[in-house]
Structure 1
Amino acid sequence: MTKSDSGKHSVGGASRRLVLQSAATLLAAPFVAKPTNAWAQEKLAGSGEVVVFSYGGSFTEGVRRAVYEPFTKATGIKVVDVVGDLAASQVKAMHQAGRVDWDTAYIEAEAYPAMHEAGMFKPIDYSLWDQEALEGTPPHTRFKDAVVGLASGLVLSYDQRVFPEAGPQNWADFWDIKKFPGPRGLDFRGKHAIQFALLADGVAHKDIWPLTDDKLDRAFAKLNEIKPHVAKWWTGGGEATQLMINKEYTMADAFDGRLISAIHQGAPIKFVWEGCYLTYTYMTILNGGPNTANAQKLLAFLNRAQIAAAWTQATGYPGPNANQVKYLPPKIIPLVSVDPQNAVKCIIDDANWLVEKRPDGKTNGDHVQERFLTWRTQ
């Protein structure tokens, strides 16, 4: 990892970091209005620095421009970013060593429960947040010691060149080979394809989770129908989008941020929100970090609606404050999951269930993945 405030980034392997850093920067971040600056200067003014974890690449570049630089200008607090791959293992190592060098980190939803129980995070001071941020951020995205930092979705996307009039609108359409012919793409990770299969088989959104064994049996029976038409089980974050551009897929599940970036560059792709698989990444303040007070101020600043809108435009992955929609350009709103009309169509990843242990000692997530890998190789 590297510690920097000068634009240098470390290079890692294919990972969530690469999914995020390559999908960033939809538009130039909007100007931060005087009321936001005045509020920050009054409520959040300080000195010194705050050390934040980030994914590098265009993700960090966008966040610097949209959030960090305006934050420093308004508050006097310098932001130093630490670039690395997934943060959880490094945070655990710092916690065990008794020396925490960072102030904030993005933590994957499945890693959060155990780290929370171990006391690795400081309670978030919501008293620093303005009323618009509190009212716009749903309670299920705000915990005592974590708040959703970004949401990434796997959505049903399709090639407009193949379906110029009316493309697939839901996962039942994805399974309909006669009405919508052509090669498909699906993510190699089982929990996503299993959800889509259940939706295609008529399971209601509210009944997807937990993925009990009877639901898994039902999902695999449905997956048997589509398996011959999956041209490739994609593995990389931008692979599905690129293969569709290359005409190797007619439709695929793909990450929303990657699709938005491609669409803004002229790619002939559309996507729908119905049945989106939504995964949260939490923003946390690390217990024992060197600049906790400044980290609290940064989170309060970031979650202000106007700054949240700037974050979304800079990264392609929105935080949960729905009031940011008031500050987003109209053409962006239909493309982001935080729009209330899109949010109701999404199904949120049940990270707590996935990390629960089964009688055999395996987690539910491991069990699902093992069943899926066995099925896929048959």
Structure 2
Amino acid sequence: MKLSLTLTVAAGLMATTALAQDKTVTIASWGGSYQEAQSKALFAPAAANTGIAVKEETYGGMSDVRLQVSTGAVTLDIVASGSGSAARAGAEGLLEPLDYSVIDVSTFYPTLKSEYCVGGDVFSTVYAWNTKTYGDNGPQSWADFWNVEKFPGKRAYRNKVAGALEPALMADGVAPEDVYKVLDSEEGIERAINKIRELKPHIDVFWSSGAQHAQLMKDGEVDMTTGWNGRFDNAAKDGAMVKYSFNQALLDYDCFAIPKGAPNKDTAMAFLAEISKPEYQDDLPKYITYGPTNKAAFDTGEITPEVAAMLPSSPANAAMQLPISLEWYIKWETIADEKYQSMLTE
């Protein structure tokens, strides 16, 4: 009897171990220091705590997901994505709807999740300035960024419509809470583009990547530019004379999605639930200056007040910003970008 019981218990333990080993997710992100930070803060600890094996890959974005879904050869279970790309991919039918009865987002910022993508980190589109030119007294609003008399100097601005029109309207006097109401028409889009057209003679470079706008500031090639806060932090660490402000910045986020037909959909959903917990998200700023999407991460004691002051999603900084409207981008981005590109080539 004792031998039989021992064998039964051993068989049960072996079955449990095998079950854990069978649970695997393949996650694709963008590589580099960004994915390294995700791996150290989120993927590796969650794998250790859940027994879910993680296979990491890099990928080229939603075009890769589209190819896998269209050919019925889906190998990815979770993908990192920009919020706008995920919104468009979800509308296109490329992503699984997320189960928020499994993924607890009750302490998330309400704008940092969607039907198809759950926020993983927060970044901001800000205006940054060269402290050699302006000292600490650089622009403190988008109106200042447009004010070439008060702040003479060379500007840089993004060459795509994403994050380009909202600052222009705020510079034109539209209250942040009304920006997307005004942009919800072709007339409003034209108003924003006309405001950028007004500044165009003072824009020396229309940048195309985060690496480029950071380099512009490191080289002192422009006196102020728009761009992403984390890139400016890294540039400053490398010696760039750069500062920025979160006032009127655009609050945006990267997120995690599950491709349609993912081979391990249920395991992927459970894994996303795990890495959305505050005890994982509070470690991310140790490796990269992006903020957590889960507000409770600021209450664990892991994020110091000094670090929180640098993060886009800290309560004080988030309160100063305009959250990106994914609904607007789904509806208007294609039309708006055509108009924007036309203005750039004038």
Selected match of 1:274 from 229, 239, 247 = 247
Deviation (angstroms), 1:263: 2.6
Deviation (angstroms), 1:344: 2.3
Deviation (angstroms), 1:145: 4.0
Gaps of 5+ in 1: 1-44, 357-363
Tell me the alpha carbon deviations over residues 232-278 of structure 1, each in whole angstroms, 9 at most, x when there is no partner: 11112121221122111111101112112223344321111122123
Instruction: Write the distance in 2 (CA, Å) between the matches of 1:277 and 1:202.
Output: 16
| Aligned residue in 2 for 1:346 | 321
Mapped pair 1:207 → 2:207: no
Deviation (angstroms), 1:103: 0.9
Deviation (angstroms), 1:180: 1.5
DSSP-derived class of the 1:65 partner: helix
Mapped pair 1:46 → 2:20: yes
Q: CA RMSD in A?
A: 2.4
Gaps of 5+ in 2: 1-18
Q: 1:332 to 1:266 in 2, by over 3 A?
A: farther
Instruction: Write the distance in 1 (CA, Å) between the matches of 2:323 and 2:275.
Output: 23
DSSP-derived class of the 1:140 partner: coil
Selected match of 1:365 from 330, 333, 338 = 333
Q: 1:84 to 1:275 in 2, by over 3 A?
A: same
Q: 1:312 to 1:296 in 2, by over 3 A?
A: farther
Selected match of 1:298 from 254, 259, 271 = 271
Instruction: Write the distance in 2 (CA, Å) between the matches of 1:238 and 1:225.
Output: 26
Q: Is the 8 A contact 1:191 1:368 kept in 2?
A: no
Larger Rg: 2
Aligned pair count reads 323
Q: 1:161 to 1:99 in 2, by over 3 A?
A: same
| Aligned residue in 1 for 2:342 | 374
Mapped pair 1:229 → 2:229: no
Mapped pair 1:244 → 2:212: no
Q: 1:287 to 1:233 in 2, by over 3 A?
A: closer
Q: Is the 8 A contact 2:41 2:284 kept in 1?
A: yes
Mapped pair 1:333 → 2:304: no
Q: Normalising by structure 2, what TM-score? A: 0.84
Selected match of 1:148 from 119, 130, 155 = 119
Q: Is the 8 A contact 1:46 1:294 kept in 2?
A: no
| Aligned residue in 2 for 1:164 | 135
The share of aligned pairs that are identical, in percent, is 27
Tell me the alpha carbon deviations over residues 329-348 of structure 1, each in whole angstroms, 9 at most, x when there is no partner: 32221222111222122223
Tell me the alpha carbon deviations over residues 11-59 of structure 1, each in whole angstroms, 9 at most, x when there is no partner: xxxxxxxxxxxxxxxxxxxxxxxxxxxxxxxxxx933321111111222
Selected match of 1:177 from 144, 148, 151 = 148
Corresponding letter in the other structure for 1:149: G
Deviation (angstroms), 1:123: 4.4
Deviation (angstroms), 1:199: 0.8
Instruction: Write the distance in 1 (CA, Å) between the matches of 2:124 and 2:194.
Output: 25
